[in-house]
Amino acid sequence: MPGREEFKREYLESIAETCSKPFAECSRMERYTALAAMIRECCSGVRAETLRRRAAAGEKIVYYFSMEFLVGRLLENYLIQLGIRDMTADILAELGEDLDALLECERDPGLGNGGLGRLAACYLDSLAAEDVPCVGMGLRYRYGLFRQRIRSGCQTEEPDDWLSDGYPWETAVPSEAVEVRFGGTVDRREENGRMVYELRDYRSVLATPYDVPILGYGAHAVNNLRLWRAGPVHKQLDLDAFNAGDYSRAQKANNDAEAITCLLYPDDNTPAGQQLRLQQEYFFVCAGLQSMLRTFRATHLSWDKLPERVAIHTNDTHPALCVPELMRLLMDGEGLSWEEAWDITCRTISYTNHTVMPEALEKWPVSLMRSLLPRQFQIIEEIDRRFRTELGARFPGNQQRVEEMAVIAGGKVRMAHLAIVGGYSVNGVAWLHTEILKNKELKNFYEIYPEKFNNKTNGITHRRWLISANPALAGFITEKIGNGCVSDTNQLEQLLSFADDEAVCARLAEIKHGNKVRLADYIRETCGVNVDANAIFNVQIKRLHAYKRQLLSILYAIVLYNELKQNPMLDIPSKVFIYGAKAYPSYRLAKATI
């Protein structure tokens, strides 16, 4: 990174290039945009060097497929990764600008909503910090879930138009756009002694990638988050309809294609909503795998080497279609036999399970899967047939066991079963979670595939959740044990030696209280409610769902309130209950909880 004076000079040059006027005349948003452009250019340089080094070393690449990447605001994170946050703040102060105010200009990208998305984002951060080659594969949603407003105690929803001012961290790569096909009819014929499958009368959608750099701590490596945007292969306009004044019908083909990446988690309570959800899932799987295969072909290695150079990870069941789609690409596209493609697929794909609730495991109607993805469904049927044969040999006469474990049963395709059967690894996100999967929910699979099951405890990247979120605490920690903990969290254990140090404990309490005062001030400014910073804060921030902890928490608050009503002299500590959560628009019980 450049030194202080060079950084200042480059920033002012960036201001001149992006705003075409002096710094003093720029708006705060313009100053933010110029700084973001400068940092993105720095990331581009590191990215180019990272790709060159890794290509020379022939390193294995992780492709992390997830419907959500809750990456949050990136500018401050990148300044921390580059080790220049404090220097940047000082330079801006010299110019008459406040870094914290500048950071507030950045929109939170509407690319995720809950823990699944944050897990994915933390993995990307850690993989880059550890210099593990990784490409995140996701969807570039035009609108996030929604912007929440609380009116008269009730949640109301507004569009989350997070792209209205553009997104400074993304770069469109139209040269690597790919075609994704839906519907149609599968023709089968024999050619040179093998069966050939060809799709006709399909509907095509163009998938265009937008790349976002993921900078690792210390700026030693940059990985890539590739987000796919849906659009028509060729822009279409029905002139007859347009000239007749039917403007919606005139643009229908374009709008239908763009709808696929219009909204994060569209309502799936209707058949049309279900179809759109499944389109989303296949769309980014198909596009992402085509992108991955393009990169692998450049190595000129034989296809049996794919598992040695590629790891495909599916975050929950949303990308489980990676199994039949990789099979399709290898068999129909590359001419491999079923046995060859299946061996490669099962050695390449892994799966993270996020829930122990059977009703939350994805199941798609056979009728929908067959009509929307006819060739993929044929492959799923064959996977199911072969798996049923295997189960029948293992458990002769036990048809109930076969039905419980089958990939297709009851008119539904069970996506979790597909992910387990077609991959080499299944993990939960906490030790207890994994044990429940092994001993209860997925016990049948664990008994026949014990080697596939393992645990990966859900962690967080402390550079965002400590250094960025709590700078006072982070500063005090590094003052006491040095800054080695920024890259090695194990060094935080050195704090245990201060457990009995009264001065240290008092300072920690002071920092905590200071943060509570800041939160109380924020609540007063944004909600018009005065809270006591000396009270116990009971905080729940997560997606609001009937089975999550907010419901228990608010019931506890109601119990305490009723006890106080019955006995006003009851001696209990002052408590403030604070909730930050969105309830899904059609989830009536969750909205009633709000």
What is the pLDDT at residue 253? 77
Q: What is the pLDDT of residues 350-376, one digit of tens each?
A: 999 998 877 678 999 999 999 999 999
Task: Report angle CA 507, 512, 513 to the nearest 5 degrees.
Answer: 95
- Distance, in Å, from the CA atom of 109 to the CA atom of 284, rounded to the nearest integer, reads 18
Low-confidence ranges of the chain (pLDDT < 50): none
Nearest alpha-carbon partner for 419 in 313, 533, 294: 313
Q: Is 260 left (phi over 0), alpha (psi -120 to 50) or beta?
A: alpha
Q: What is the 3-state secondary structure (H, E, C) of 345-359?
A: HHCCEEEECCCCCHH
**Would you say 330 and 336 are in contact if contact means Cβ atoms under 8 Å apart?**
yes
Nearest alpha-carbon partner for 210 in 231, 230, 228, 224: 228
Integer angstrom CA distances of residue 439 from 266, 314, 317, 400, 547? 34, 22, 20, 18, 21
What is the pLDDT at residue 359? 67
What is the pLDDT at residue 296? 97
For the chain, how are helix, strand and coil distributed in percent, rounded to 5? 55, 20, 30
- pTM equals 0.94
Q: What is the pLDDT of residues 519-530, one digit of tens each?
A: 999 999 998 999
Burial zone of 292 (CB within 10 Å; 0-12 exposed, 13-18 middle, 19+ buried) = buried
Please name the helix (run of DSSP H) or strand (run of DSSP E) that holds residue 219, with its range, or none: none
- Distance, in Å, from the CA atom of 47 to the CA atom of 540, rounded to the nearest integer, reads 38
**Would you say 209 and 227 are in contact if contact means Cβ atoms under 8 Å apart?**
yes
Q: How many Å separate Cα 251 from the centre of its chain?
A: 31
CB-based contacts of 542, cutoff 8 Å, min separation 6: 114, 115, 548, 549, 550, 581
